[in-house]
Structure 1
Amino acid sequence: MKISIPVNHNFYEEKPIYPAGLAQAFGLRPRSAKEAEKLFSSFFELKLDQERFGALKLFSFNRKRPFKPDRERLVLRLYAKDEPERRYFMQTGLYAGTLFHKGCKINISSRYGDAFLKRMLNFVCEVYIDNESTAAKKEDTENQFLYIIAHLFIQGLEKAAVLGLPQEYQTRREHSHKVRGKIDFNAYLKQDIPFSGKLTSVFRERSYIPEIIDVLHLALRKLESLFGREIHSRLVGITQVLKQNYSGQYASLATLQKAKNHQAINNPMYSGFKRVLEYAEIILLNHDLSPENSDPNTPTHGHLFDIAELFELYLEKLLARKFTEWSVSAQESMDYYQDQFYGRQMFPDLVMRHRETGRVAVFDAKFKKMDMTLGDVDRADLHQIHSYAGYYGSEMVASGLLYPLSKEIPLDRAHSTSLYGGGRNQVSFIIDGINVHSEMTMAEIISHEERFINRISKKLSAEQ
């Protein structure tokens, strides 16, 4: 059985599933609906703080900061209610990916469609593939997962291979007119008398590690078959080396294990290949993406990504690229009362600081539904962003919460010229973001990015 569901789904229980519609919701035959009923009847909640979910793998997009998942944040909840009538509920948090639970495959998608996911990945991984043809090959949540892995694999391989692909010293023997290393006198006595002008020499030479070369080459070929040649356009030089040194044999499970456990990648020079080989393993082993290979008795397992982290990094890079007169930093540490026992730290998502004047604008990124209604703005988020003003004081000129928007932003309702409103100060506060939905093309998303940048630019210019 398969379930496909977006992130941040059904938080207010606004989308219940009734028994009559259970089979249709999951594309099941009426008699097979009992599987779904059984799944929902036993309350299931997945958070990252439970040891029994140790089989889950979490991937991070940020290499500058260690990934620290919020272990209280919800991943998935499945349950049923009987009052006033039987209803079934699915709820998700902000982790996207693929899970396997009791024989059921659960795809958690990014909500706003393939194009916006690809646009965020393009910025964060700096692997720019705006080609619309790659989106047309497969439009499902499983493909979203593979596309994320593809970007992480390409980004990781490009950075890891800066100093070259992993090599090791190997002993070679050569029978030729030239002598390299030392002469093998035993071989000379056995085969070179009478002397014919050739000698057997033994030498040590650095060479590529066959298992690692094979795994990387086959992973790139797999991606090319799924997404086209554009997927590895930045790796032309590396691709040629891999192709020239490929053994010609398909990588087995034993080959994968040898590559992952090879002592060469313990060398700090090649340590970046550890994660790259993990991505390659996921790409090559389709069983992680196939429901028929998920035994109902195996522990809940799968792969997850923090989609909120991706959105934050996307905004960071977008703002840094467009506002060259400002430095843009993420998760800047704010230390409160460090000499007292009640000292705290806070970390604003995005801090923009003007390079000449030192003026500051602070924003928090929120990957949540925003339909421009009161309930869409959480009280805690509002209080948190306002608390930053006290810390930065007179340096702050603007602040706000940034969302993926579901409609055009009405400036008169979403932008305030002063913090708390009523003209009390000169610090503006805004609710803003980028207008996206699942049917948008890449060109439309880029157009809405420009509108967002223009609104922020006008706001910052007015406050200078």
Structure 2
Amino acid sequence: MQLNDCINIETKDCSLMQIPSEHLEAIKSFNTNAVAFNCFNFKTIPYTEESTSLLEYDYKNNSWWSSRYIGEANFKYNAQEYKLTIQPRFGELFLFRMFEEIFSIRLTHSTNKITKYNDIQFLIRKVISFIWVQLLANANKHGVPKKNVTRSYQGSKIKGKIDITKTIQSLTKRNLISSSYKEKAVDATISSIILRAYKILKTDYGLDSINLPDNAQDALNDLFAEMKDVNNVNNHQYRNIVYKDIYVSFKPLVDFSWDIIQRKNILNQEKSNKQNKGFSFFIDMAEVWELYLKSLLKRKLQPEGWKQVDVKHFVYNDKFYGRSIIPDIVLLKASQSVVLDAKYKRMYFFGKELDRTDFFQIHTYSGYYSINSNLIAAGLLYPITSKSDSIKLLSHHSKGLFGETASSTNFIVDGIDISFLNEDSISHDEKIVLMKEKETQFIDRLALTLKGTIN
């Protein structure tokens, strides 16, 4: 079948899909077979709060909606080739800015080249390559991870400690002394994970087109020089990696590399499954949004004494209705706490726009932290799509939980104003500057609330 015979279905994340009736069964079949493992996770614990379906059917209105994932997949239904493309609804600039913040990288200089391609899968893979390269460069501060290993030696001289048993056995045959000694060698498990990910990125992610920073290239040279063979690493070995303090900067790189390897293994399995053949992985934008906010808050509020923690609390442990609660963002400072939930949803500040489930969920978290600490603030954080200044946004901060003045807990509905991203009159470079200004304004508003100085 020729390329022009392929039927293209394009949409944006979290959007109503316009699908001709003759292709509805194909979409239904695709969504049934597209499962969560096709999603590339940037978090150790994947975002699991809501449905993991790539597409969702609205029974009430008899319509299909894309969910929070972006990506591209080729699939076949009744011998017909299809390509489904889901683009980020807030644009590539916002997507790249979030990645920049999360991974402390700079993609803006390459953005113009990247956006010439319409293939969202190409864009995603290229971004992942940039992230991996930067993580490698950042990690290589004191050389590649090494550890002491014991070597055996046989000869007329002694290296290290003599091995009595082996020496006696050897002397009867070859008249050689057996000894053992310790030396520094690269950590085989860590090195194998990094090098295997590197090879995958070269073949599948376009890493060859990226100029490697000196730190990254030096690390690869050292690893290849000492690792003659790249070993297969199992999950048990990966989970039991111990990082010395001097090499702890390699952990984000190794975790990211491990996820790349697992994605490759899954895609290889899919190739043998005719039903799933052609699937590509997707990125969960709700996960990216959460990580982006956490990075901003950590960078800006940590100097003020606030510590960000990842938590999972169990309630009613001894009851059949026991549950776990996992707030997105928790900040602690002495006995004080702040609990926030990141919501990757449009926010225009209409009366019924704030989802009922989201509203009660954050108040559940608030109740828990009010009992166990001095809860200073709680709230929901959105990409704000209605043009708003800080005065207007501060008006959505309540000085008391449930609107009660007796409460010392502030409740906020806030986020980062990205309404300007769709304005054609603003240049690409101006939008980047504005993006950072809006981030600073958001942090400043939150800081005012934490200090109890809002009007």
| Deviation of the 1:146 alpha carbon | 0.8
Aligned to 1:57: 38
Counterparts in 2 of 1:147 and 1:463: CA distance versus 1, 3 Å? farther
Q: Aligned to 2:145, which of 164, 176, 192?
A: 164
Residue 67 of structure 1: SS of its match in structure 2?
coil
Q: Deviations over 1:98-146 (max 9, x none)?
A: 333323232333332223222322333xx43324221111225223321
Percent identity over the alignment is 25
Q: Where does the alignment leave 5 or more consecutive residues of structure 2 unmatched?
A: 1-5, 161-179, 244-249, 423-427
Q: Aligned to 1:237, which of 218, 222, 225?
A: 218
Greater shift after overlay, 452-461 or 135-144? 135-144
Q: Is the 1:361–1:397 contact (alpha carbons within 8 Å) kept by the matching residues of 2?
A: yes
Q: Is the 1:94–1:306 contact (alpha carbons within 8 Å) kept by the matching residues of 2?
A: yes
Q: Aligned to 1:383, which of 360, 367, 371?
A: 360
Correspondence 1:241-320 to 2 at 5 A: 241=222, 268=241, 276=257, 279=260, 298-299=276-277, 301-320=279-298
Q: Where does the alignment leave 5 or more consecutive residues of structure 1 unmatched?
A: 20-36, 173-177, 182-202, 248-254
Aligned to 1:31: none
Correspondence 1:263-412 to 2 at 5 A: 268=241, 276=257, 279=260, 298-299=276-277, 301-323=279-301, 324-355=303-334, 358-391=335-368, 392-393=370-371, 395-409=374-388, 410-411=392-393
Q: Distance in 2 between matches of 1:214 and 1:262?
A: 16
Question: For residue 354 of structure 1, what is the amino acid of its counterpart?
Answer: K
Higher relative contact order (CA 8 A, sep 6+): 1
| Deviation of the 1:211 alpha carbon | 9.1
Q: Aligned to 1:458, which of 422, 439, 448?
A: 448
Q: Deviations over 1:312-364 (max 9, x none)?
A: 22212211211123434355334434455444332222122223xx2222211
Q: Distance in 2 between matches of 1:211 and 1:336?
A: 41
Q: Aligned to 2:121, which of 142, 161, 176?
A: 142
Q: Is the 2:105–2:134 contact (alpha carbons within 8 Å) kept by the matching residues of 1?
A: no
| Deviation of the 1:367 alpha carbon | 0.8
1:427 aligns with 2:419: no
Give the alignment's TM-score, normalised by structure 1. 0.65
Counterparts in 2 of 1:341 and 1:261: CA distance versus 1, 3 Å? closer
Aligned to 2:170: none
Q: Aligned to 1:447, which of 431, 437, 444?
A: 437
Aligned to 1:101: 75
| Deviation of the 1:428 alpha carbon | 2.1
Count of matched residue positions in the alignment of Structure 1 and Structure 2:
403
Question: For residue 8 of structure 1, what is the amino acid of its counterpart?
Answer: C
Q: Aligned to 1:46, which of 8, 16, 31?
A: 31
Greater shift after overlay, 53-62 or 113-122? 53-62
Q: Is the 1:55–1:302 contact (alpha carbons within 8 Å) kept by the matching residues of 2?
A: no
The RMSD of aligned alpha carbons is: 5.2
Question: For residue 129 of structure 1, what is the amino acid of its counterpart?
Answer: I
Q: Is the 1:9–1:92 contact (alpha carbons within 8 Å) kept by the matching residues of 2?
A: yes
Counterparts in 2 of 1:412 and 1:152: CA distance versus 1, 3 Å? closer
Q: Is the 2:381–2:413 contact (alpha carbons within 8 Å) kept by the matching residues of 1?
A: yes
Q: Deviations over 1:157-191 (max 9, x none)?
A: 5769975389999999xxxxx9999xxxxxxxxxx
Give the alignment's TM-score, normalised by structure 2. 0.67
